[in-house]
Every structure is written in C-alpha cells, then in structure tokens.
Amino acid sequence: MSSSFFKCERGNTLTEFALCLPILIGVVLISADLYNINRMRGVMEQVSHNVASILVNQQEWKVESFDHLVEQVVEYPLNGEYELIVSKVNVDRSMDWLPIQRGGKDGICTNQSNDNQYIGQMPEENPDVNNASFLVVQLCRYSDDLVMNSGLLGSKILESMSINRLLYHSIVLDQTLSDEVGVDYE
C-alpha cells in the first residue's frame, strides 16, 4: 500500500498547484492594485504641491494662465477624471471668494468650506492677524481606472491637499475668474 502512495506524487503536486494557483493570482492582483494606487497618491501629492507652489507666488491670476497651468500640471499626469479645488483662506478662516473648481467630475472632494468660511484643517490660526492668507489646493479622483480587479479593493476616493502661505495677501483676479468666484472685478 505504501508503494502505490509514493507512485501518485505527481498527481498530488499537480492538485496542490491547482489549489494554490487562484491564491497566487489573487496576491499578484492585489499587489499590483496597491502599487498603482500608492503610485497615484504620490503623483497627486506632487501635483497639488506644484500647483500651490506656482500660484502662491503670483499676485495676479488670469483665467487663461490658470487653465493652462491646470492643463499642463494636473491633467497630463493624472490621465483621468479628477476634481481640483483652489481656495484662498485667511488666517481667521474667512475666504475672500468662493473656491475655484476645475476637472471633469464634481463632488469627489470633501467640502472644506461653508459659505465664506473655511472648515478644514489649517496649519496655524491667529484671528488677530489679518494680513496673512493661505492657498488650499485640493485634488481628488476615483481609483476605478487604477485597479485591475476592482472587486477585490472596490472604488476608493484618492485625495491630496496642499496648504501654502500666499506671498501676497490680496490676489487680483481677471474678469472671468472674478465672475466665477462671485466677487466684483476691480
């Protein structure tokens, strides 16, 4: 009886391999999905920081240059539907205008403002200071097109936020951006 058991080892190996193959495929799929999601998170962090770094050094914003910046810095690396929200927030959490929104999707990002008041996190708060402002850049997208097997991980919202201090407290907006954010053109 023991000699017939050892003669069937090839069948046992094949059976074990057939049982382990779905597990191996699942591990590879999950690993690839997690890699793609984490890589995109890093890209989004870099993109939101780049947009904030460029905008905080400008005193005058024009819609053509703003849209060109979004096209060159945001759209190319993300290669998908996203939502970009740019807010000017004073140290006392007041907002001089409504956020500027760009992207193919609305409602992905969590709302960080209530009317003209910012409700999100701030790096520092001092209500006595009225000449300092921050630029908050929020970048969000779904992870659907990043994963090979969305059934394992499901759809997730990827969100990146960059907060930088503005070089100039007052920003001059052109006519189109002024109309978009609800302020009078100066």
Residues in CB range of 25: below 8 A, 6 or more apart: none
d(CA 53, CA 42): 16
pLDDT band at 56 (very low <50, low <70, confident <90, very high): very high
d(CA 59, CA 167): 8
- Bridge-based pairing state of the strands 100-102 and 82-90: antiparallel
Summarize pLDDT for 9-53 with one digit per residue, the tens. 667 888 888 899 999 988 888 888 888 888 889 999 999 999 999
* pLDDT at residue 5 tops 60: no
Summarize pLDDT for 63-90 with one digit per residue, the tens. 999 999 999 998 877 776 899 999 999 8
Summarize pLDDT for 109-162 with one digit per residue, the tens. 988 888 888 988 887 766 666 678 899 999 999 887 777 765 556 668 889 999
pTM: 0.82
